[in-house]
Amino acid sequence: MSSDNTTSQSTLPNGRPRLPQWLRVNLPAGPAQATFNGTLDIVQGNTLHTVCEEARCPNIHDCWARGTATFMVAGQSCTRGCRFCSVETLRQPEALDADEPQRLAEAVERMGLEYVVITVVNRDDQPDGGAAHYKRCVEAVHERSPRTGIELLCSDLEGNWTALAELLEDIPLAVFAHNVECVARLDSQVRDPRASFALSLEVLERARQLRPDIWTKSSLMVGLGETDEEVLEVLRQLYSVGVRLLTLGQYLAPGRPGTRFLPVDRYVSPEQFERWDQQARQLGFLGVASGPLVRSSYRAGLLVEEARADR
């Protein structure tokens, strides 16, 4: 469902939109490549998973070349099957690894990170949705690197509000993030049936109520069939529940045509992303990253610094 603000685009022989120039990514070279390799060694040496790899993030070379990474905990298999995500889906993933929190903490320390994002796979097989394990990971990092800012990109925990309260109690976080992913109208097409825009909004609202001292953050993908006005309505709804940090980015299909992944509906121009950035700030958001290659963890520490400066 293209918008009037979407740049006209040529198509490939199969009818899919042709990838525009602004979505091309430059690979690192020289010292940047060496830093990238060092980050890869630390990640692999500690038997860790990163969302950078599992979700095939287009910014992996940019971030890893700067020695930063977003770690994915609780395994590399998710109990949900959203149609935008390349992470493997299993009804019964492997048991949670009790040693993972310490390996994660060691990796963060070795990398000397000032800010780290810890994201999770959904663990609907766990009574608490994996909340206790997520918390142990955060606490282990904080204990070993107390000056490192920590952001947790959390699941919806299946609406288990007791688990959410226990997760957030005394947890040493700078940011609690949870992504709405798409506009509400597209939930049934984009997300696993157990997820919903309404549930995600409630997770963010309750988190803000439980810990008003922690920033809440969310992310929205575009290019899935939404309209520009629907995007603006999502921004209004997120702001109304206390979210002050926001990322907007272009959806890029992680698989070939004919797979379970949704095709790209449109490639949104950088100019339209800039308009959303301005509109979000006018609404009152304090930290915003809006652009074709932006992902939910994109320059996460800088968004927090921006919000603190604005406040």
What are the residue ranges of helices labelled H in the chain?
31-45, 51-54, 60-65, 100-111, 131-144, 161-168, 187-190, 197-210, 228-240, 270-283, 300-310
Residue-wise pLDDT tens digits, 293-306: 898 888 888 899 99
Structure tokens at 179: 């992504």
The model's confidence at residue 49, banded by pLDDT at 50, 70 and 90, is low
CATH code of residue 71 = 3.20.20.70
Which tokens go with 21? 């120039």
pLDDT, tens only, 132-165: 999 999 999 999 999 999 999 999 999 999 999 9
Q: What is the DSSP letter of 10?
A: -
Dump pLDDT digits (tens) for 180-215: 999 999 999 999 999 999 999 999 999 999 999 999
11 in a domain, yes or no? no
Say if 10 falls within a structural domain: no
Asked whether residue 22 is domain-assigned, the answer is: no
Domain region containing 176: 27-310
Instruction: Please indicate, yes or no, if residue 262 is contained in any of the structural domains.
Output: yes
Number of independent structural domains in the chain: 1
Q: Under a CB-based contact definition with an 8 Å cutoff, are residues 133 and 74 in contact?
A: yes
Residue 302's nearest CA partner among 19, 132, 63, 88 is: 63
- pLDDT, one tens digit per residue, over 216-274 is 999 999 999 999 999 999 999 999 999 999 999 999 887 665 577 898 999 999 999 99
- HEC string for 192-261: CCCCCHHHHHHHHHHHHHHCCCCEEEEEEEECCCCCHHHHHHHHHHHHHCCCCEEEEEECCCCCCCCCCC
7-12 LR contacts (CB < 8 Å, sep 24+): 7/267, 7/269, 7/271, 9/266, 9/267
> What Rg do the C-alpha atoms of the chain give, in angstroms?
19
Question: Which residues have C-beta within 8 Å of that of residue 288, sequence separation ≥ 6?
Answer: 245, 246, 247, 248, 277, 280, 281, 303, 306
CB 60 within 8 A of CB 53: yes
Q: Is residue 236 part of a domain?
A: yes
120 within some domain? yes
20: in domain? no
C-alpha to C-alpha distances, 204 to 17, 118, 295, nearest whole angstrom: 34, 17, 18
Question: Does the structure show a pLDDT above 90 at 8?
Answer: no
